[in-house]
Structure 1
Amino acid sequence: MPYDLGATARMTAQCRDPDGTATTAATAVVTVTLPDGSTATPAAVETTTPGTYRADYVTEQPGRHTVRWQFTGPAHAYTDVLDVRPEQSPALFSLADGREHVNLKNTREDDELRYWINVTTRAVEIFTGPVVVRPVTEDHHMGGAQSLALRQRPVLAVTALVPLLDGGTTYDPDRLNVDSVAGIVTRKDGGLLRGPLRATYTAGRPVIPDNITGAGRIILQHLWRTQRPSRGGALAGGGDDYSVTESIPGLGYAIPNRAMQLLAPDDQGPGLA
């Protein structure tokens, strides 16, 4: 499961001889490659189990990390990955709310539940656009135009609109009109926006409507139940309350019909960008 930014990631690996038997190595080195390409080499130590090694790394950047173990005497190698969440939570609702909705009485499965809450958030945002408030930076390769259509909406504020090419025009955000719902940017003086341009803005919903959080809870419970066999041995989640009778482009049968009905007032049209 992903780690929170700033948390300690505990990594483990086994050194195995050519016969596949775990054995103590002469040397053990672990290299963590961060998302920006830099590397870290936390100390690798053998545990009380011969051939099993451990290394602790304090996470510094969000994103995908590559972990490479290299052993000598005997020669052995192992490659893995670890993911780090951004500092700002990407979740539609809290862990406590999710736990209550799926009727968990303890915290033993919190890491897995957090994962499925984030999956649920992504599924909802495919249809509604950003729900969680976040900064966005995107490039627009255009000539001269009366308006610029931002890709993530609703738009809360444009913070910068700058040229991608030397000699281009930088536009003062205070001199721009922004249609929050449509994501359309125009100049207040009616002039053209001349590109190519890089737009930096904030998108999302400071107040999330109940129909969106309600749909998210239905999706979460559907996904959570399908991970756990019912008492009869079949996959749970197939009852009338959470049935999925129509395939949704790009998502198959992941979204229950009731959730889609709740999202309808805010549906921007399925788009997997």
Structure 2
Amino acid sequence: MPFDLGATVRLTADCLDPDGTLITAASAAVTVTLPDGTTAAPAAAETTVPGRYRADYVTAVPGRHTVRWIWDEPAHAYTDVFDVQEAAPPAILSLADAKAHLNIPADSHGDDGEVRFWNAATTRAVEYFTGPIVPRTITEDHPGRAAPVVVLRYTPVLDLVAVQAVRDGSTAYDVDTLDVNPTTGEVTLPGGGVLRGPLRFTYRAGRTVVAENISAGARIILQHLWLTQRAGRRGGLPGGGQDYSVSEPIPGLGYAIPNRALNLLEPDRLPPGVE
């Protein structure tokens, strides 16, 4: 499961001899390669179990990290990865709401990491149909041809932050002089005329209020994903198999989304061809 930005990741690995037996090495080193290509070398130490080593690394940037262990005498190596999520990862449901819907007691924390993972997957699934729900800042480039309208790729648009020239980053248009249609994402000049680029638009997209049908659809998707991954374990609602059934594949998502959730999301579904 992804780690929170700023959290300490306890890295563990076993030094094995050629026969696959745990063994104490003469030296041990671990290197963490960050998403930007820089590296860190947290101190590695043997635990109370001979041949088993650990190191603590404090996360500093979001993204995929690679971990490389090297031992000497005997020579052994091990590579692993871990992910660090954004400081404010998008999620339609809070952890408390997600646990309540899955009938997990609020004071039970053993499944929190897994619930958060499937909650994030649920958010992505909902936004596949509706566009951004959780507000976020988006930066995108548009080609250089002159046009009376530039259509931003993600809606609904909350506000336009900046419009810059792609070549040098200078301000191309004052955002206060532009009109933005929050529903369609269309950017125009109020008095007419054309926008000349290439242009880099920075804007915020999402919703300040999440409608009940979207929240309900998210809960159904979360429940469905939770049940399919935890067959026979606790956390499901009685009769959930029928309530959350998927009778036919959905283009782009297969059988991941129950039809009942899709029905709830229909009023806010993006028009064909709109992201």
TM-score higher than 0.5 here? yes
**What letter matches 1:179 in structure 2?**
N
Partner of 2:137: 135
The yes-or-no answer on 1:23 pairing with 2:26 is no
Partner of 2:62: 62
- Residue-by-residue CA offset, 1:1-40 (whole Å, 9 max, x unaligned): 1111111011101111111111111111111111111111
The yes-or-no answer on 1:170 pairing with 2:172 is yes
Partner of 1:216: 218
The yes-or-no answer on 1:203 pairing with 2:208 is no
CA contact (8 A) 1:237 1:243 kept: no
| Pairs within 5 Å for 1:32-47 | 32-47=32-47
CA contact (8 A) 1:126 1:271 kept: no
Q: Distance in 1 between matches of 2:145 and 2:232?
A: 58
Question: CA 1:79/1:94 → structure 2, altered by over 3 Å: closer, same or farther?
Answer: same
CA contact (8 A) 1:222 1:237 kept: no
Question: CA 1:114/1:166 → structure 2, altered by over 3 Å: closer, same or farther?
Answer: closer
Q: Distance in 1 between matches of 2:9 and 2:169?
A: 46
Partner of 2:229: 227
Partner of 1:2: 2
3-state SS, counterpart of residue 221 of structure 1: helix
Question: Per-residue deviation at 1:70?
Answer: 1.2
Question: Per-residue deviation at 1:187?
Answer: 1.4
Q: Distance in 2 between matches of 1:266 and 1:230?
A: 34
| Pairs within 5 Å for 1:46-125 | 46-105=46-105, 106-125=108-127
Partner of 1:149: 151
CA contact (8 A) 1:8 1:56 kept: yes
Gaps in structure 2 of 5+ consecutive residues: none
- What is the CA RMSD across the aligned residues, in angstroms? 1.9
Q: Distance in 2 between matches of 1:257 and 1:220?
A: 13
TM-score by length of 1: 0.94
TM-score by length of 2: 0.93
Taking only the aligned residue pairs, the percentage that are identical comes to 61
Question: CA 1:217/1:167 → structure 2, altered by over 3 Å: closer, same or farther?
Answer: closer
Q: Distance in 2 between matches of 1:84 and 1:271?
A: 32
- Residue-by-residue CA offset, 1:74-113 (whole Å, 9 max, x unaligned): 1111111111111113111111100010111222111101
**What letter matches 1:216 in structure 2?**
A
Q: Distance in 2 between matches of 1:169 and 1:112?
A: 44
Q: Distance in 1 between matches of 2:169 and 2:52?
A: 58
Question: Per-residue deviation at 1:272?
Answer: 11
Q: Distance in 1 between matches of 2:158 and 2:171?
A: 23
Q: Distance in 1 between matches of 2:164 and 2:179?
A: 16
Question: Per-residue deviation at 1:178?
Answer: 0.5
Moved more, 173-182 or 162-171: 162-171
Q: Distance in 1 between matches of 2:67 and 2:273?
A: 33
**What letter matches 1:22 in structure 2?**
L
Runs of 4+ in 1 over 6 A off after TM superposition: 270-273
